[in-house]
Structure 1
Amino acid sequence: MPQVAAPKRKASKSGVDADLVRDLAKVLDDTGLTEIEVEYGELRLRLARTLTMAPPPPAHTHVVHSAPAPAPTLSPPQAPSSQPAAAAPAPAASHPGAVPSPMVGTAYLSPEPGAPPFIKVGDSVSEGQTLMVVEAMKTFNPIPAPRAGKITAILVADSQPVEYGEALVVIE
């Protein structure tokens, strides 16, 4: 196979052909490449472009607004109970029965739009039963119940983005 000689170019005092460098830089711009390497006999030339990226947008905070608590009503005194008073309920997300999201994605409470949800508050679930699906990279991943119990809270809305480790539901 015959070899084709590289075109003769005029080298600068440093031995590098400035026109060649400009031509290669234009190839980088035209093609969107970030790096190109060319070899002509003894000359080996590598051009690389450094891309600067804009800083990521600030994270949005999800704020849940709730209705104000009803005004307390007075009731007649009751006889002392043998049961100890229940402690104030802990936030649902830190509840020991909270089921965390195993991935970042979008939570869907039903298998398809318009279909009934997988679970409702008050439902009893068995271990391994699908609680919801989380879409990540166009894949719908079922979130199974880690244990049997009763659903006491659903902490996400349908089509809501979720983070890794974010509490999804509470099973007691």
Structure 2
Amino acid sequence: MTKPQHDSDVAFIEALAELLNKSGLAELSVKREYGEHDSLNVRVTKYAAVVAAPAAPAAPAPAASAAQAAPAAAAPAATDGDPAKHPGAVTSPMVGTVYLSAEPGADPFITIGATVKEGQTVLIVEAMKTMNHIPAPRAGTVKRILVEDGSPVEYGAPLLIIE
């Protein structure tokens, strides 16, 4: 039994992609029911899944900034693999926008080489207009900051490395 063609499906998917771009969301998932045994499941994502692209060590490269350039000696040891697999990696608990300071123009919560205490706020992830303070899971020294201020992050994406 073949599935009937629905001419509106292409237009529907294009509209979802446009909505994704306009809204600032990273992903949409929709199920469209046509009848008892006929439906369309659509998942539109703005970014490739981290799992689908395991050979993506280039992802941390755009996060390099002038503040991170000084401790170049620490960088080579940490770039040997996927930063998400580093034992000191702090990952995003949600999809959102990451901020390195409490407000624009304010001093950042952390800098490379800074010593942090367990529970100390290291950055903020904004999700659905809610500012979520991300605490340091352990005490240590910030070795790398893998994201830029104001950049979008996915669930599980590495944000920084604390050793």
TM-score for the superposition, normalised by structure 2:
0.55
Using CA pairs under 8 Å that are at least 6 residues apart, name the structure with larger relative contact order, 1 or 2.
2
Query: Offset of 1:123 from its aligned partner?
Result: 0.4
Unaligned runs of at least 5 residues, structure 2: 1-32, 49-55, 65-76
Match of 1:129 among 120, 129, 151: 120
Give yes or no for the alignment of 1:158 onto 2:149.
Answer: yes
Q: 1:165 to 1:149 in 2, by over 3 A?
A: same
How many correspondences in the alignment?
106
Unaligned runs of at least 5 residues, structure 1: 1-48, 68-85
Q: Which has the higher helix share?
A: 2
Query: Offset of 1:116 from its aligned partner?
Result: 1.0
Give yes or no for the alignment of 1:111 onto 2:107.
Answer: no
User: Where does residue 47 of structure 2 map in the other structure?
Assistant: 60
Query: Offset of 1:165 from its aligned partner?
Result: 1.1
User: Tell me, what secondary structure is at the counterpart of 1:117?
Assistant: coil
Q: For the Cα contact (< 8 Å) 1:92–1:153, is it kept in 2?
A: no
Query: Offset of 1:94 from its aligned partner?
Result: 1.4
Task: State the AA in 2 paired with 1:166.
Answer: A
* Residues 93-135 of structure 1 deviation map (CA, whole Å, 9 limit, x = unaligned): 2101101111111000010001111001110000000000000
Distance in 1 between the 2:131 and 2:85 partners? 26
User: Where does residue 131 of structure 2 map in the other structure?
Assistant: 140
Q: 1:124 to 1:87 in 2, by over 3 A?
A: closer
User: Tell me, what secondary structure is at the counterpart of 2:84?
Assistant: helix
